[in-house]
Homo-oligomer: A and B are copies of this chain.
Amino acid sequence: MLIATIKEVAKAAGVSVATVSRVLNNDRKVADRTRVSVEDAIQRLNYRPNLLGRNLRLQQTRMILVILSSISNNFHAKIIRSIENEGRLHGYNIMLCATHDDRKIEAAYLELLKNKMADGIIFLSTTLTALEMKELGRDYPIIQCGEYYEGIDVPIVSVDNEMAAFTAVSHLAAIGRKRIAHITVSNDIISTRLRLSGYMRALKENNLPYSEHLVAYARYGYGSAYAAMENLLSHDTKPDAVFAISDRMAAGAIKCTIDKGLQVPGDIAVAGFDNTDITPIYNPSITTMSQSEQDMGAAAMRILVERIGGSEEIPFRFFKYSLIVRDSTDPTHTEQ
């Protein structure tokens, strides 16, 4: 099927292309009967405006790139859904770009922006350095959501990770745990760093002991956290609680604990982070910190749209978090 062009529609309707364009764009100064006959021709010819022409003319695609490490991340999935909804409201489409932490792949996606195939980028994670991000932000509309670099003149939407971690660990203290361990990742991203800080501060403010042996470093993911937990359990003085920086890592810690013949939370209470879909369905269900994915995604999109529109503001916004108590720390909790 050959697609009709605006010229053919104009001819069929006996008007100029300018008029057809006006009808397409709901320009009100078109006589009713003209509009009707144009719409009729559009119908008859099964005409679809070719966005390629439009994009070139307007120098925009109304397309937003969302850059993340992987789409298999339920926390990100919730943010994305909100970004999509908000984007639709503003007439933007979203293109998800999974980099798998490969700088080459991320670079290729950045080209899409530089080559005008996209109007802006929302970074959920990145392989860029702070300097690279800063330079990109000087030339193009971008925003950081969740993870971020500070002080590089790029807008930020996130959560107060330090306070959230503090809250999680304080919960473990509140249920009477005395030796609280931390399973984390040895990277340098802001959320990891701040969660460690929050953990340390919570120990201090609750007068609980800290020792190097209480902090285990793993890679992301279940298997590595399982091994880290084995390590924690190998010391003479075992922890009676664990705060992991992600839910999957909490699951790994739980499985390891159970495999060693210990009880969760009886012997060891475990808390995760992000309130991903695995937490309510794991066995036992997992206590975790929930973030405001919906608000964060929508805000990120909204701020980006304003930047595209020329705004010079560089907002830095934190959104709410909340503790969700489940079986892995308190089997008597009321369902949330």
Contacts and interface: CB of A to CB of B under 8 A. Distances in A.
A36 interface: no
A283 B281 contact: no
Nearest to A58: B52
Contact of A55 (B55, B72, B77, B254): B55
Interface stretch (A111-119, A156-164, A230-238): A111-119
Given A93-B112, A277-B72, A117 B51 contact: yes
A30 interface: no
Interface in A237-257: 248, 251-252, 254-255
Contacts of A74: 72
Contacts of A283: 254-255, 258, 282-283
B95 A96 contact: yes
A51 B96 contact: no
A56 interface: yes
User: What is the interface of chain A mostly: helix, strand, loop, or mixed?
Assistant: helix
A239 to B, nearest CB: 20
Given A115-B49, A115-B50, A283-B255, A71 B61 contact: no
Contacts of A63: 117
B52 A281 contact: no
A171 interface: no
Contact of A115 (B51, B138, B258): B51
> Which among A50, A53, A72, A255 has the highest number of chain B CB atoms within 10 Å?
A72
A152 interface: no
21 contacts: A1-B138, A48-B114, A49-B115, A50-B116, A51-B112, A51-B116, A51-B117, A52-B55, A52-B61, A52-B116, A55-B55, A55-B117, A71-B71, A71-B77, A71-B80, A72-B77, A80-B98, A88-B105, A93-B95, A93-B112, A251-B281
